[in-house]
Structure 1
Amino acid sequence: MNLLATRNFRVVMALVALLTVALILVTQRKQLAASAPHIATVHTPDVFDSAPGDEPSAKLPEGNTPPYPKQDALKADKLNDAISADKLPQKPQDVAETKADAKTKPVAETKPVAETKPESAKKPASGDCEQYVIMIDAGSSGSRVHTYKFDVCQSPPLVLAEDFKMLKPGLSSFDTDAEGAANSLNPLLDSAVAFVPKHLQACTPIAVKATAGLRKLGEEKSSAILSAVRSHLETKYPFAVVEGTDGIEVMDGSDEGYYAWITTNLLLGTIGTAEKEATAAVFDLGGGSTQIVFEPKPDHPVAKSDMERKFEFGGHTYSLYEYSHLGYGLNEARNKINKAIVTNFGTEKLTKHQSAKQAEAAAADNVEITNACLPPNTETTKVVEFGKDEYYHVKFVGGKSHSGGLCRGLVESIFAKDAECNVGPCSFNGVHQPLLSKSFDKHGDMFVFSFFYDRTNPLGFPSDFTVEELRDLARDVCGGAESASVFAKEAQEELNKEPFWCMDLSIITGLLHTGYDIPLAREVKTAQKIGGFEIGWCLGASLPLLESKGKNWKCRA
């Protein structure tokens, strides 16, 4: 018994010793962990950024659930992409780059990336290398200022930062009030003053380029507004106003698309590379016009010289097809459809007004006109323009049931696909265009932006989608209350704000498929920004100003 007790005692003591050692090790590990520096989780934003404060401002659903349940053609993986996926084409080595690094690379080499670094990680320009450029986009729906900071000691120049601000209404809305139009730009100009260091303001070129809104206003009124804008800039603000028509002008529609193509492909990094790469096609949709620019395959050349533009960059030559369809922007397309509906109804019982402002101020006629592009059992009022000095303020109502097919028919009619095509092939309204299905790489990127983005993103739609999926989205929106359950709460709130969502989505679907002949199964991409910079023509149009110092602009004394 004594021997057994002694052995038991030794076993117990050994176990106690082992437990003591284990306890000491655990305690030391906790102390080391507590004293070690903690690394915060890095937020990884979507490469397709949205600018804070830009309209529309709908919040996307959080988490990994789709914004609305899976429909016939809306694949769940596509919907999840809207929230978390980086869909831009990348090479393997690009994935490791950060957004801050991408911003400090030459524009021609910038690639969209997944992570972001603090502002301090940017490498600032120094001394004479730092150059700012201010570009004001005076569109039909509103005005926007883009203030860019460049490092011009690099080749090509580094775009380091961008300050962006927008406001409504556009310059054209001021009609004969030229001074009011000029003064409306003050908030944008004040933003630029705050962004550009004071000692560099006198050597910062500024240009104002108006688009479809002023084109439509006519030569006399648009010239008066632009003259007032130039005088306002030269007398009230410190910047170097670009001389001649290049500085303050009504921009040619083809230039919009051309510079937007340059901007997009610079930010994607598909131009300015050692080896020539496939480039992205660009489709812009403004309020008054829409632009298409792409690089056709060599065996499908552009048949009309006035629709072709040569672009030389980085030792490569790009032969581009470009065209601006004036009158086919979203607002103008809306009016075409509404005008057709009112014409079919008849104007005899309606009150004719001399101007849009006069019509807007007057009460809508107490006559209900059925509009197939409104969801069932909805109503709204709208000023419809028939031409100079002829406007009607009408009351539109939706039908008693879903009428998406009738709406599609109205939309397709405005594209005049049966118009005479003198030089084929043609897209719509008799305009020559190489067929995208044959002349553009079937794997190439197609980027659609501006109103294409504004009418899909607030509904939680993915950043890349097929035209068929877009058509199905339009179908659901046009269903009104019958289809409301397929949309998230945030999307329903957006739809309730604007009765013309059905018409707008039908228009953009018709423009891509019926107008531009993009197949239903073809995927397109939409974005507001790439790599932190706004898509659009402004960056592309700003680059020539870096080379023209002393030519068409000079530092102010």
Structure 2
Amino acid sequence: MIDAGSSGSRVHVYRFNFCKKEPQLEDEVFHMLKPGLSSYKDDPAAAAHSLDELMQIAVKNVPSEFHHCTPLAVKATAGLRLLGKDISDRILSKVRSHLETSYPFPIAGDDGVAIMDGSDEGVYAWITVNYLLGKLDPAKRGTSAAVFDLGGASTQVVFEPSKEMIQGEHKYTLNYGEGDPFVLYQHSYLGFGLNEARKHIKEAIVDLWKDQWSSSSPLYHPCLPLNHSETITTTKGQGNDETTMEFQLVGTGAGAAQCRAVLEPLFRKDECQTSPCAFNGVYQPSLTDAFSQRDLFVFSFFYDLTQPLGMPKEFSVAELGSLAQRVCDGQAEQYFRHVPDASILLQKPDLCLELTYLYSLLKTGYDLPSDRIVRTAQKIKGMETGWCLGASIAMIDAQPICKA
């Protein structure tokens, strides 16, 4: 399984044991590289060949006698989706052609090389986590964990509510194993991944000052360190009406509260046609009422930004807010002297902005109480978290596979 994400591509080579009722995962080989396919929007052939390093790892780790019956899938996520259909189709067509002619693995069906629906991305991550936690057993119904994933271009939430939901695209019926299907709530917020959010948060100051700005003056941003300076480019309009402008941003180091004041309006909490809502006008059952006692896992950038700063694997929403506040106060180094290599992450000028966004996404966006405990992990039982394992389990049910 190749995860063609917005910030890089990753290969997962899985080995399963089929001697029991449920496939048992025995081994995983994982490797990642940068940049992602979306970085090759002007050169689809280069995009296809960028996967060669990953494919060589797959060829090496799958026994040659199983090459012909080991299905291969490439699932692209929000980064490629943002390029638009024409560009993404050209890239994926080149990828499929290259893999079919250069490697021995059969492509997993017509949608074996495709952009994955946001709903599938979140649900596959939910399958991965709950499979590894052993919570998909029919005897353990009602104990499943919730999954919050924060990628570069989008963020997903998936959980099994304890109360009835209204009908809609958010309702996902998952048939897995024996017994009744799982009824899940899921939603993917395109444009609210960390990379996209970072861009929008910086542009928010431009929008705030658009009627008073002089081209000779910088714009001051509270989410950036004191006196940090950078230039951003914004594009407005489309086609013949498209205009591009450059702005100089200068950091004020004003702190986490001032930073939240800039970024929290991006959640558009006042837009809600069918309540209750999370953010951006999207219906979501209340996590306080419909998911109060079960585990809640946060992944990807949540892990990448908290663990290098010495945070435990379990922390409250309030503790994440405190972490953001300490970094934004400009006194971070004294707090993290005990953490090896924390200074590397602390050098990022966007760290205050990013941690404040993580906190606000949970507290303001998803309406989690301050004392709510969340868990983060890169692996569970030695296996990578994320959607790839869940997608591979689904692929097992749909494709002919090797069974020794």
The normalised TM-score by structure 1 is 0.68
SS of 2:73's equivalent? Answer: strand
Match of 1:507 among 357, 368, 376: 357
Pairing 1:404-419 to 2, within 5 Å after superposition:
404-419=256-271
The residue number in structure 2 matching 1:485 is 334
Is 1:304 aligned with 2:304? no
How far apart are 1:308 and its partner, in Å? 0.7
How far apart are 1:428 and its partner, in Å? 0.6
How far apart are 1:398 and its partner, in Å? 1.4
Aligned partners of 2:220 and 2:250 also within 8 Å: yes
Is 1:396 aligned with 2:396? no
> What is the letter of the counterpart of residue 164 of structure 1?
F
The residue number in structure 2 matching 1:293 is 158
Counterpart Cα distance in 1 of 2:148 and 2:221: 28
Counterpart Cα distance in 2 of 1:181 and 1:390: 29
Match of 2:92 among 226, 246, 252: 226
- Note closer, same or farther for the CA distance 1:491–1:461 as it changes in structure 2 (3 Å cut): farther
Aligned partners of 1:339 and 1:385 also within 8 Å: no
Counterpart Cα distance in 2 of 1:387 and 1:535: 39
Aligned partners of 2:223 and 2:254 also within 8 Å: no
SS of 2:181's equivalent? Answer: strand
The residue number in structure 2 matching 1:87 is none
Match of 1:274 among 112, 127, 139: 139
Counterpart Cα distance in 2 of 1:320 and 1:531: 24
Is 1:518 aligned with 2:382? no
Match of 2:281 among 411, 422, 430: 430
SS of 1:438's equivalent? Answer: helix
Counterpart Cα distance in 2 of 1:448 and 1:515: 14
Match of 2:102 among 213, 228, 236: 236
The residue number in structure 1 matching 2:117 is 252
Counterpart Cα distance in 2 of 1:390 and 1:210: 30
How far apart are 1:199 and its partner, in Å? 1.5
Aligned partners of 2:219 and 2:250 also within 8 Å: yes
Counterpart Cα distance in 2 of 1:312 and 1:546: 14
The residue number in structure 2 matching 1:448 is 298
Aligned partners of 1:271 and 1:277 also within 8 Å: no
SS of 1:434's equivalent? Answer: coil
Percent identical among aligned pairs is 48
SS of 1:490's equivalent? Answer: coil
The residue number in structure 2 matching 1:495 is 345
Query: What is the total number of aligned residue pairs between the two structures?
Result: 397
How far apart are 1:487 and its partner, in Å? 1.5
- Note closer, same or farther for the CA distance 1:189–1:367 as it changes in structure 2 (3 Å cut): farther
Contiguous gaps of at least 5 residues in structure 2 = none
> What is the letter of the counterpart of residue 407 of structure 1?
C
SS of 1:163's equivalent? Answer: strand
- Note closer, same or farther for the CA distance 1:273–1:406 as it changes in structure 2 (3 Å cut): same
How far apart are 1:305 and its partner, in Å? 2.6
Aligned partners of 2:297 and 2:374 also within 8 Å: yes
How far apart are 1:207 and its partner, in Å? 0.4
Counterpart Cα distance in 1 of 2:312 and 2:10: 26
Match of 1:342 among 174, 187, 206: 206
Deviations 1:141-166 (A, max 9, x none): 11111110112233211111011111
Aligned partners of 2:148 and 2:298 also within 8 Å: yes
Is 1:261 aligned with 2:126? yes
Counterpart Cα distance in 1 of 2:205 and 2:315: 31
Is 1:211 aligned with 2:77? yes
Deviations 1:414-464 (A, max 9, x none): 100011x22111111110000101111x22100000111111111111111
Q: CA RMSD in A?
A: 2.1
> What is the letter of the counterpart of residue 251 of structure 1?
M
Aligned partners of 1:338 and 1:384 also within 8 Å: no
Counterpart Cα distance in 1 of 2:246 and 2:52: 32
SS of 1:321's equivalent? Answer: strand
Task: Single out whichever of 232-241 and 314-323 deviates more from structure 2.
Answer: 314-323
How far apart are 1:494 and its partner, in Å? 2.3
- Note closer, same or farther for the CA distance 1:238–1:397 as it changes in structure 2 (3 Å cut): same
Counterpart Cα distance in 2 of 1:213 and 1:320: 25
Is 1:315 aligned with 2:164? no
Is 1:283 aligned with 2:133? no
> What is the letter of the counterpart of residue 397 of structure 1?
V
Is 1:186 aligned with 2:52? yes
SS of 1:424's equivalent? Answer: coil
- Note closer, same or farther for the CA distance 1:385–1:472 as it changes in structure 2 (3 Å cut): farther
- Note closer, same or farther for the CA distance 1:278–1:554 as it changes in structure 2 (3 Å cut): closer
Counterpart Cα distance in 2 of 1:455 and 1:387: 34
Deviations 1:185-237 (A, max 9, x none): 11111111111111111211000111101111001000000000000101111
Counterpart Cα distance in 1 of 2:209 and 2:87: 33
Counterpart Cα distance in 1 of 2:236 and 2:60: 43
Aligned partners of 1:240 and 1:554 also within 8 Å: no
Match of 1:327 among 188, 191, 208: 191
How far apart are 1:483 and its partner, in Å? 3.8
How far apart are 1:397 and its partner, in Å? 2.1
Counterpart Cα distance in 2 of 1:475 and 1:434: 29
Aligned partners of 1:459 and 1:494 also within 8 Å: no
Counterpart Cα distance in 2 of 1:258 and 1:335: 27
> What is the letter of the counterpart of residue 201 of structure 2?
I
Counterpart Cα distance in 2 of 1:156 and 1:222: 36
SS of 1:339's equivalent? Answer: helix
Counterpart Cα distance in 2 of 1:180 and 1:282: 34
Match of 2:310 among 460, 463, 475: 460
Deviations 1:287-312 (A, max 9, x none): 11100011111xx3221331111223
How far apart are 1:491 and its partner, in Å? 5.3
How far apart are 1:286 and its partner, in Å? 0.5
> What is the letter of the counterpart of residue 265 of structure 2?
S
Counterpart Cα distance in 1 of 2:235 and 2:362: 25
The normalised TM-score by structure 2 is 0.93
> What is the letter of the counterpart of residue 194 of structure 1?
K
Counterpart Cα distance in 2 of 1:373 and 1:392: 21
Counterpart Cα distance in 2 of 1:495 and 1:395: 24
